[in-house]
A and B are shown apart, each in its own frame.
Chain A
Amino acid sequence: MTSKLQPATRRRWRGSAPRLTPYLFLLPVLVLFAGFKVYPYLYAAWLSLTKIIKGQTTFVGLGNYGRLAADPIFYKALTNTLIILVTQVPLMLGLALLLAVAFNSALLKFRAFWRTAYFVPIVMGLVAYGILFSTLLNSHHGLVNFLLESVGLPRVPWLADPVWAKVSIIIALTWHYTGNSAVIYLAQLQSIPGELYEAAEIDGATAWQRFWHITLPGLRPAITLTVVLSTIGTLQLFDEPYVLTNGGPNNATLTIGMYLYQNGFKYFDFGYASAIGYVLTGIIGVIALIQFRFLREKQA
């Protein structure tokens, strides 16, 4: 008797509710996404076409974008951001790769300790991180210059010289994010079958050959992911120059993110700041597309 009822019940459920249920479960996320992502995106798009003139939000078409195209400070910020991108991302990912291989090695003692130690910086708060580095790199009484002097090297104006300030930002970024990439690589390393290494060893492959022909190809999905994520993160760079150099000296560490912030929150020019945001989004989109295409072709 029950067996007769069951199909009917099942059919009724299948008929109406099941179509709605998944969406009800998704609703909170969709509402949050619409409220905190879609709405700001659309509002910023509208803002980027306006300018506040005598207290009135006025439609100026592509005026802000035209101004941006002729703004020397924007180009300076763009150049700084790209310089940091092409030096810091390869440096960090290279280091992360080496660390991941080391963490995975059976020869390493206290593996859990080392893994944690390198991962901890990522959870450090921005303010603590800023204070830590500005104290370490202080040119008068910082620990780094003290150590340099104690081995007979000259003091370095870490945060006060246009070139060294960029170097400081790169060092801070690398310290903060390397562990994160290393953990992603480490996870991917677990998916590379051990037999491949055994077979290679039997065939007489050297350690370098095993790394080059087995480890690297095995890590390719993780490398693609970290390259794209790190590139996006660096293009949006804001925290480090904000806490360490305030974008200075003389705009040497001004990034696009910093310039956007200055225009919005220092100069109250929200239209212009939104235009910068959209141009940055465009740049990120193009670069990410190129990276995906490039890395995919290599994979094939």
Chain B
Amino acid sequence: MRTERRGIGPRNPEEEKLDNTVRRLFAATGRLTRLALATTALATLATGALAEELSGTITVWSWTAPADGLEAAVAGFNKLHPGVTVKVEDVGNPAIWDKITAGMAAGGAGLADVLNIGIDYIGNYIETFPTGLVNLSEVGANDLAAQFPSGMWASGSSADGAVYGIPYEVNTSGFFYRKDLFDQAGVDINSIATWDDLLEAGKKIKEATGAPLISMDKAATVADSAGLWQLLTNLQGSFYFNAAGEITMNGPAGLRSLEWIKKANDAGVVADIPGGWDNFMLQIKGQTNVAVIPAASWAAGVFENEAPDMAGKWGLRLPPSVEPGGLTAAISGGTYLSVAGTSPNKQAAWEFVKYAMGTLEGQQATYEGGGMFPGFKPMLESDGFVKKSAYFDAEVNKFFIDELGQNTPTVNYTTDYARALKAYTDAQTQVLLSGADPKTVLDEAAALVAGQTGRAIAN
């Protein structure tokens, strides 16, 4: 983390604009921390004043580790609001999406008060069920906007800027590599600047150690298997859709990504390993060798917890760029906390979200309990957040903070992400299993999505 500090002085109009980009914010770390602490203190005071009025029970729906994180924030919340009982339920992922969707479709019946929602779902919920989630702008959520990465914040808001979700997890791309396999093959990880360099290295590693460079679920029958393509496409500043909502999956960036995947597959360095948690575990535990795993930032904690024997064998760095000198950062998903429109206890639900996400104390408790990478800037800048990990022999969180500081584009998931994801996955399967031409299948996929959604294909 940068520790640059500027002198104390009155705020000028230029400073007011600091909110806009993460990069600028990092240049003004000290001032912002003070600002954030002041806001936090104010928020705490405000919630303190309300404490006596709030009572009742609120339910929170989340899953596994994120649920553990929220559970850990309950004790601190109850000091402020002793009358509120918070029940955090681990309803499982992906079951949570069907549960929320079914509840929304039934006019909000049976939903919990606080919902943990993925970035890939929230846009669609906001647009499809306009009263399904509480417009948090009406209860002052906009005050928190400056304290979160702007792109992530925007994805949890509607087109007209009304806020429906406060960022919980903010995942960037982690690039994990097996130091031992790279050493065995005599490849210096620092010599790899681009994905083309990586492919050449992958061939050497395969020859020297027999281990594949990377794994994919080629048939995509377990999971969606589009993570690598999304990463490569994000690194070129593109995605399935552009900011105007037009289809860009078959544009130059998307095509280049799938061509890289085909090249790697044809070179025999892509292992066909079905998706799912168990197979992911086999790879990180080294029971199935792969040289690199591009996984989101949340995975760092998983490596340390699930594969302690592999300490020292895994390294972590920023992903290579696609173009020489291009982006080495990508936002790879994230989640939000939202309040259900039918919640009988909206105020208490919002106070809990505000405490867990919008205060340093709540954030610290949540992070300790669940380990999800936060987007709350005062948390990222707080003492001890960046510390050296003996496991990776690196300051793990520094990589992810660096990525948030790069000028990554706002990823526009739109309401049709699920359709585009499915169409892409099927196109990729044809390339990987039957050697289909990337351009042909991507054009077909784009045409299919255009037909299903009425969206235009960008030129």
A278 to chain B, nearest CB (A): 18
Chain A residues near B124: list those with CB within 8 A: 268
Chain B residues near A140: list those with CB within 8 A: 273
Q: In whole angstroms, how far apart are the Cα atoms of A244 and B433 in the complex? A: 18
Using an 8 Å CB-CB cutoff, how does the interface string of A255-282 with B read, 1 for contact, 0 for none?
0000000101111101000000000000
Contact call B419/A250, Cβ cutoff below 8 A: no
Chain A residues near B65: list those with CB within 8 A: none
The answer to whether residues A265 and B433 also contact, given A159-B221, A161-B219, A248-B219 and a CB cut-off of 8 A, is no
Chain A residues near B221: list those with CB within 8 A: 159-160, 165, 244-246, 248-249
The answer to whether residues A249 and B448 also contact, given A262-B422, A265-B98, A266-B422 and a CB cut-off of 8 A, is no
Q: Is the interface of A mostly helix, strand, loop or mixed?
A: loop
Q: Is A193 an interface residue (CB 8 A)?
A: no
Contact call B418/A267, Cβ cutoff below 8 A: yes
Contact call A54/B127, Cβ cutoff below 8 A: yes
- Chain A: interface residue total (CB-CB under 8 A): 29
Chain B residues near A205: list those with CB within 8 A: none
Contact call A265/B101, Cβ cutoff below 8 A: yes
Q: Is A72 an interface residue (CB 8 A)?
A: yes
Q: In whole angstroms, how far apart are the Cα atoms of A162 and B433 in the complex? A: 9
Q: In whole angstroms, how far apart are the Cα atoms of A264 and B419 in the complex? A: 12
Chain A residues near B97: list those with CB within 8 A: 265
Give chain A interface residues in 126-184, CB to chain B under 8 Å. 138, 140, 157, 159-162, 165
Contact call B422/A249, Cβ cutoff below 8 A: no
B384 to chain A, nearest CB (A): 41
Q: In whole angstroms, how far apart are the Cα atoms of A251 and B426 in the complex? A: 7
Using an 8 Å CB-CB cutoff, how does the interface string of B402-421 with A read, 1 for contact, 0 for none?
00000000000001101100
Q: In whole angstroms, how far apart are the Cα atoms of A159 and B272 in the complex? A: 12
Contact call B127/A249, Cβ cutoff below 8 A: no
Contact call B433/A160, Cβ cutoff below 8 A: yes
Contact call B220/A248, Cβ cutoff below 8 A: yes
Q: In whole angstroms, how far apart are the Cα atoms of A240 and B396 in the complex? A: 42
Q: Is B105 an interface residue (CB 8 A)?
A: yes
Chain B residues near A138: list those with CB within 8 A: 274
Using an 8 Å CB-CB cutoff, how does the interface string of A63-103 with B read, 1 for contact, 0 for none?
00000001111000000000000000000000000000000
Chain B residues near A267: list those with CB within 8 A: 416, 418-419
Chain B residues near A73: list those with CB within 8 A: 448
Q: In whole angstroms, how far apart are the Cα atoms of A161 and B218 in the complex? A: 10
Chain A residues near B451: list those with CB within 8 A: 70-71
Chain B residues near A52: list those with CB within 8 A: 128
Contact call B418/A249, Cβ cutoff below 8 A: no
- Partner of B418 from the list A165, A246, A248, A266 (CB cut-off 8 Å) is A266
B290 to chain A, nearest CB (A): 14
Contact call A250/B433, Cβ cutoff below 8 A: yes
Q: Is B195 an interface residue (CB 8 A)?
A: no
The answer to whether residues A72 and B128 also contact, given A249-B219, A249-B220, A267-B418 and a CB cut-off of 8 A, is no
Chain B residues near A159: list those with CB within 8 A: 219, 221, 274
Give chain A interface residues in 41-73, CB to chain B under 8 Å. 52, 54-55, 70-73
- Partner of B219 from the list A72, A160, A264 (CB cut-off 8 Å) is A160
The answer to whether residues A248 and B429 also contact, given A55-B129, A165-B221 and a CB cut-off of 8 A, is yes
Closest to B432 in A: A249
Task: Tell which of A140, A249, A262 has the most Cβ of chain B within 10 Å.
Answer: A249
Give chain B interface residues in 287-343, CB to chain A under 8 Å. none
Q: Is B130 an interface residue (CB 8 A)?
A: yes
15 A-B pairs with CB atoms under 8 Å apart are A55-B130, A70-B451, A71-B451, A140-B273, A160-B219, A160-B272, A161-B433, A246-B221, A246-B222, A248-B221, A249-B220, A250-B430, A265-B98, A266-B422, A268-B128
Q: Give the interface of A toward B (CB within 8 A).
A: 52, 54-55, 70-73, 138, 140, 157, 159-162, 165, 244-246, 248-251, 262, 264-268, 270
